[in-house]
Structure 1
């Protein structure tokens, strides 16, 4: 089992694994993405998961080899997950920026509500982004993007 799968099985974030193993979060990210980790790093991760160090090093080398041989379905799934994440981040940014603009508008020129135009215009963009990710991807699953 890969380090990432063991981490996700326990419901840990990369930061939580880094804290438990005494490593930096960046080191955990590098090892999970397929970069070669030092012996000490792999030993500390193996100790956290209570697995044999030798099986962990085999899993890391197998992860590096298998990362290059993802099937088309896996690539599509990863791309879809990234698109969903980006859509939620876009929505979060929309709310944060519009709240800030509302505050600025009410504090500087409350007689002229200019933030409404920004909110509506950006809201149309959010609606199209959301439709693209959650509606159109069901019909067009993105296989053509991998070519």
Structure 2
């Protein structure tokens, strides 16, 4: 929930004080929410009302966390290998383009 609050607040340009004012909660409570501390049902309800989402939506873990938890060591190794190969081809492409430009400049 804390990521949802931070992202939503940033998107709307809200400070902790603004969010506290809109929800009727204290800035200390908003700080605790953004830090990831446990909060009560009243806090969930106030935030859900301001964000115009259900409490259940706020309580769902972010999709990114789900994806990261599914990544096995084998997948991490494969990702590193793919990134190295990608980086190689990027560097190769840059090398080819620069050499073609230099070749055209000489002609």
Alignment correspondent of 1:44? 46
Q: Which aligned pairs between 1:118-133 and structure 2 lie closer than 5 A?
A: none
CA-to-partner distance for each residue in 1:61-110, whole Å, 9 max, x for gaps?
A: x5xx79xx9xxxxxxxxxxxxxxxxxxxxxxxxxxxxxxxxxxxxxxxxx
RMSD of the TM alignment (CA)? 2.1
**Gaps spanning 5+ residues in structure 2: where?**
70-107
Partner of 2:6: 4
Gaps of 5+ in 1: 70-147
- CA displacement at 1:52 relative to structure 2: 1.2
After TM superposition, the structure 1 = structure 2 runs for residues 56-135 of structure 1, keeping only pairs within 5 Å, are 56-59=58-61
User: Take 1:35 and 1:54, find their aligned partners in 2: how far apart are those partners?
Assistant: 17
Given the alignment, which residue of 37, 48, 51 partners 1:35? Answer: 37
Which 4+ residue blocks in structure 1 deviate beyond 3 angstroms? Answer: none
Question: d(CA) in 2 for partners of 1:38 and 1:8?
Answer: 23
Distance 2:52 2:28 in 1: 22
What's the TM-score once normalised by structure 1's chain length? 0.39
Q: What is the CA–CA distance in structure 1 between the aligned matches of 2:28 and 2:14, rounded to whole Å?
A: 15
**Aligned mates of 2:31, 2:58 — CA distance in 1:** 16
